[in-house]
């Protein structure tokens, strides 16, 4: 099957010229080609370049999209979500509007544990149905790959139910999904006074089972005050690594207890959040080559200050942005909105925001050899936007500017 995108007004390739990630000034180079064509065969990009250079003889039975009115970008990679959950927490949202904090609500037994109760009480079939709707809506906003974390089960059955749901959804839905085990998302109520026993349960029972069945590619821990300590996180992540999982850490979000330094120490693929990261820890991340996944929507939604994106980029850390879609700290999965917030509040440039939402996000999932840019050999995940210039995408916020989504070379139809 062939598809030709012809005369594209502006092709934003996000090419790293053979590299798998962008850092420093490289994040500002989007590899733009004006009046371009992209030729796709069997779901893979075969050729990109100026439209007049396209060799027509490559084309046999290609469908053609006349793309004169469109800017083309790589499909967005949402590298940090908690998309699989039941229920909702608008009451907590209202409490926060009246001045209560996320931490205070959690200390009173709300927050993550509220969603754990609702998710434990929902069947796999029902959970998947809820998730499918969300995945459809995400794709309409240009996301073509999403990471999903478990973490609303907090016991063996509940966590496995979540990971099996993600595994099945990946087969049934066009969205590419990356499963992450986040059994250490909060201390389960049953272990309130003996959290170390839960850590043991994760290390001795849950993780080995998940690894054996290959149910997760990454292991993550919410390492923060009131959740898991650095020592507990080290224990879980070291075990996960020994079982062949790759590592992510929810780090320096509510407080800085040393979680991002642990990410560097363990050579984690990514450290995520980082609202409270300091300069020394930034240097450590840079040395370790760990990707910083920043979550602008969380700072916006909780009002707790933004990560030091400029400091991270200027120090040479690869920065990605993601939605963190979840019912507590960011009830949005709009990647273009995350880009707007990154530009207006974190002083990232529109170019950096696009690199962060595509190639670098793919790198934070160890998938940037296949995804995140529009280059020959890569999977044809492409979005077309009817806008005058790529900078318009983050600029005109609160509306959906995505006109067409191409996933593995197929144009998706939305009902």
Instruction: Encode 119-149: b = buried (16+ Cβ within 10 Å), e = exposed.
Output: bbebeeeebbebbeebbeebbebbbbbbbbb
153 binds, among Fe ion, ligand NIG, none (CB under 5 to 8 A by kind): none
Least separation in angstroms between residue 298's CB and Fe ion is 8
Tokens of 28: 């500002």
Which residue in 147, 252, 253, 352 binds ligand NIG (CB under 6 A)? 253
Does residue 355 contact residue 24 with C-beta atoms inside 8 Å?
Answer: no
Interface with Fe ion, residue 159, by CB under 5 A: no
4 contacts: CB under 8 Å, gap ≥ 6: 37, 38, 39, 40, 54, 59, 62, 63, 64, 65
Within 10 A of 345 (CB to CB), how many other CB atoms are there? 15
Dihedral over Cα of 48, 44, 145, 19: its sign: negative
Interface with ligand NIG, residue 327, by CB under 6 A: yes
Which residue in 6, 9, 22, 82 binds ligand NIG (CB under 6 A)? 82
**Count of positions on this chain that bind Fe ion (CB under 5 A):** 1
- Closest CB to Fe ion among 325 and 390? 325
Q: Please, where are the H alpha helices in 30-111?
A: 90-97, 102-107
Residues 338-377 that bind ligand NIG (CB under 6 A): none
Does residue 216 contact residue 181 with C-beta atoms inside 8 Å?
Answer: yes
Interface with Fe ion, residue 252, by CB under 5 A: no
Residue number with the shortest CB distance to Fe ion?
Answer: 324
Residue number with the shortest CB distance to ligand NIG?
Answer: 328
Interface with Fe ion, residue 224, by CB under 5 A: no
Q: Find tokens 């963190």 and name the residue.
A: 324
252 binds, among Fe ion, ligand NIG, none (CB under 5 to 8 A by kind): none
253 binds, among Fe ion, ligand NIG, none (CB under 5 to 8 A by kind): ligand NIG
Interface with ligand NIG, residue 78, by CB under 6 A: no
Tokens of 332: 């949005």
Interface with Fe ion, residue 381, by CB under 5 A: no
Interface with Fe ion, residue 78, by CB under 5 A: no
How buried is residue 278: exposed, middle or buried, by Cβ count under 10 Å (0-12/13-18/19+)? middle
- Closest CB to ligand NIG among 273 and 404? 273
Interface with ligand NIG, residue 222, by CB under 6 A: yes
- Closest CB to ligand NIG among 3 and 86? 86
- Closest CB to ligand NIG among 83 and 406? 83
Interface with ligand NIG, residue 322, by CB under 6 A: no
**Interatomic CA distance for residues 248 and 235, integer angstroms:** 14
Residues 293-332 that bind Fe ion (CB under 5 A): 324
Interface with Fe ion, residue 220, by CB under 5 A: no
Which residue in 111, 142, 158, 372 binds ligand NIG (CB under 6 A)? 111
Dihedral over Cα of 387, 391, 392, 394: its sign: positive
Q: Find tokens 């200050």 and name the residue.
A: 305
**Interatomic CA distance for residues 270 and 225, integer angstroms:** 20
Least separation in angstroms between residue 290's CB and Fe ion is 16
**Cross-strand partners of 218:** 180, 246
Residue ranges in contact with ligand NIG by CB under 6 A: 82, 111-112, 115, 222, 250, 253, 298, 324, 326-329
């Amino acid at each position: 099957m062939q598809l030709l995108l012809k005369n594209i007004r502006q092709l934003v390739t996000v090419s790293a010229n053979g590299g798998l990630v962008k850092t420093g000034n490289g994040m500002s180079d989007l590899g733009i080609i004006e009046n371009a064509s992209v030729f796709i065969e069997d779901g893979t990009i075969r050729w990109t370049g100026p439209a007049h250079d396209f060799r027509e003889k490559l084309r046999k039975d290609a469908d053609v999209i006349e793309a004169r009115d469109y800017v083309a970008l790589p499909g967005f990679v949402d590298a940090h979500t908690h998309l699989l959950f039941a229920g909702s927490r608008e009451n907590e949202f209202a409490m926060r509007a009246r001045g209560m904090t996320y931490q205070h609500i959690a200390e009173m037994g709300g927050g993550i544990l509220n969603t754990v109760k609702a998710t434990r009480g929902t069947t796999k079939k029902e959970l998947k149905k809820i998730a499918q709707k969300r995945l459809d809506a995400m794709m309409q906003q240009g996301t073509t790959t999403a990471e999903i974390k478990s973490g609303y089960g907090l016991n063996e059955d509940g966590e496995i139910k979540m990971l099996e749901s993600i595994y099945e959804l990946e087969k049934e839905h066009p969205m590419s999904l990356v499963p992450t085990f986040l059994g250490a998302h909060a201390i389960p109520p049953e272990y309130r006074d003996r959290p170390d026993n839960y850590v043991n349960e994760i290390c001795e029972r849950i993780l080995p089972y998940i690894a054996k069945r290959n149910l997760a590619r990454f292991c993550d821990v919410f390492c923060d005050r009131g959740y898991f300590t650095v020592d507990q996180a080290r224990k879980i992540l070291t075990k996960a690594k020994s079982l062949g999982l790759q590592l992510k850490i929810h780090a320096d979000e509510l407080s800085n207890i040393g979680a991002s330094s642990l990410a560097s120490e363990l050579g984690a693929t990514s450290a995520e959040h980082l609202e409270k990261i300091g300069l020394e820890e930034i240097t450590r991340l840079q040395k370790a080559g760990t990707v910083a996944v920043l979550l602008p929507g969380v700072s916006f939604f909780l009002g707790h200050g933004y990560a030091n994106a400029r400091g991270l980029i200027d120090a040479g850390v690869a920065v990605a942005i993601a939605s963190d879609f979840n019912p507590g700290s960011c009830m949005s999965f709009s990647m273009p909105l995350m880009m707007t917030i990154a530009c207006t509040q974190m002083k990232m440039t529109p170019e950096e925001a696009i690199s962060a939402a595509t190639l670098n996000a793919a790198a934070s999932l160890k998938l940037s050899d296949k995804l995140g840019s529009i280059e020959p050999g890569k999977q044809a995940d492409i979005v077309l936007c009817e806008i005058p210039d790529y900078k318009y995408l983050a600029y005109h916020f609160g509306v959906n500017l995505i006109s067409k989504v191409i996933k593995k070379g197929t144009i998706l139809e939305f009902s």
